[in-house]
A and B are shown apart, each in its own frame.
Chain A
Amino acid sequence: MSFLELRMVSKSYGAGAAEVEAIRDVDLSVERGSLVAVMGPSGSGKSTLLTIAGSLEDPTRGEVVIGGRSLSVMSRNDKARLRRRTVGYVFQDFNLLAGLTAGENVALPLELDGVPARRARSAGVSALEQLGIAERAERYPDELSGGERQRVAIARAVVGERSLLLADEPSGALDSTNSEAVMRMILAACRRGVAAVVVTHDAQLASWADRVVFIRDGRIVDQTVPPPAPESLLEDVTGPSQQR
């Protein structure tokens, strides 16, 4: 069974004439170790899908199962613990705490989870290091550039070996070198066994995924077939010039 499963999930906002169905009948399974990208235009329901997968909102219909447990039968406390321990979430607008430094923001989820402060801190710094901003650890969010804030948010979600990583446009404010670093970090987490979902409108970002799912008007309409192993691709690319 997949680590994350959305089964016929729909979500409506508002009521009566003002009702908007943000997503409809969404089925999505993500295995441990795999990276799935959900790609679609603005307003297609990507953030809605992700907040429901992360138990930040309840679906109007359908079921969400994480690690074999259905969210519909969990208490609020259980869900809060799940979000703390199991889910790393990168918000579209980063959601950093303004009163904490970059390093403290990254270490917070570990500390909340009972990891001793020193250890949490050093894990945080090493995550920031991988994204090239360790020297910013002592700064507060409003002293960082947009791209730096984004990387702090990613580090916070990846740190602490959580099993499900959900990222909303994780490279929105980044140039291509830094997007590459971010995606490499997310992919590395997957290769350690994390299940990850990245939602984006950006094809370059989506191309890092093992599987790309296309969403339009709240419905999943299509998906890619998994790419073959790199070795078999290299043959195709260099074939003609080697056969001389």
Chain B
Amino acid sequence: MSVRHALLALLSEGPKYGLQLRQEFEESTGEVWPLNVGQVYTTLQRLERDELIESDDGEAEAGPQKAFRITGAGREELESWLSTPPDMTSPPRDELVIKVLAALRVPGVSVHDVIQAHRRYLVELMQQWTRLKEDEADFDLTFALVGDAELFRLDSVVRWLDAADGRLKRAELEAPGLKTGPIFRRRLVAPR
């Protein structure tokens, strides 16, 4: 999430002071967001320049004591951002995918062992998140949502590993010594 849109979202609830925005930003991101103070104020300054937010004491520098409110243009920007899908057309440069592809080419290395090492690590991370979520979720809805997102993300990676494991096993049975092609990348054309 961009800091810019997070701040617009907070201001959509009503006018707020710089300091208040900073504190609410931290709370609303489940405290998992490392961010420095300056970033909030410089972002506010840019939002004001772009006329997405405004304040009464116009020229003064953005700081803890300056009050802001969202403009009509700001609200439009926020609403369009909320429903714009993030770019998922190009496969992310996934280190894990590259490692599994590379393992296929290294003599004396079992790709299944490599896959299992990653699978175990991911499941251990998931155990930690599930623990944390069970511990915190009753008290902190934001944390529960962030935890869910992490769990589904990690889960999808495990499922990819499982699928890769199965696909490779079938391929070995059907055509032992099957070669893989070069690692190249193709990009989806975004639907418009």
Asked whether A and B interact, the reply is: yes
- Docked Cα-Cα span, A194 to B174, in Å, equals 45
- Tell whether A41 pairs with B116 under 8 Å between CB atoms, given A233-B132, A237-B32: no
Contacts of A227 in B (CB 8 A): 124, 127-128, 131
A244 at the interface (CB under 8 A from B): yes
- Docked Cα-Cα span, A244 to B31, in Å, equals 12
Contacts of A201 in B (CB 8 A): 162
Chain B interface SS verdict (over half): helix
Contact across chains for B36 and A244 when beta carbons are under 8 A apart: yes
A153 at the interface (CB under 8 A from B): no
Chain A interface SS verdict (over half): mixed
Q: Return A157 CB to nearest CB of chain B, in Å.
A: 21
- Docked Cα-Cα span, A227 to B37, in Å, equals 34
Q: In this complex, what residue of B is CB-closest to A237?
A: B32
- Docked Cα-Cα span, A203 to B116, in Å, equals 13
Contact across chains for B129 and A207 when beta carbons are under 8 A apart: yes
| Residues of chain A from 133 to 170 with CB closer than 8 A to chain B in the complex | none
Would you mind naming 9 contact pairs between A and B with Cβ atoms under 8 Å apart? A204-B152, A206-B126, A207-B151, A212-B123, A221-B116, A227-B124, A227-B131, A233-B128, A241-B33
A residues apposed to B, CB below 8 Å:
39, 41, 176, 184, 187, 201, 203-204, 206-209, 212, 214, 216, 221-225, 227-228, 230, 233-234, 237-238, 240-242, 244
Please give 15 more A-B residue pairs, beta carbons under 8 A apart, in addition to A237-B31, A244-B37. Answer: A187-B134, A201-B162, A203-B126, A204-B152, A207-B126, A207-B151, A212-B123, A224-B120, A230-B134, A230-B135, A233-B131, A234-B135, A234-B136, A241-B34, A242-B31
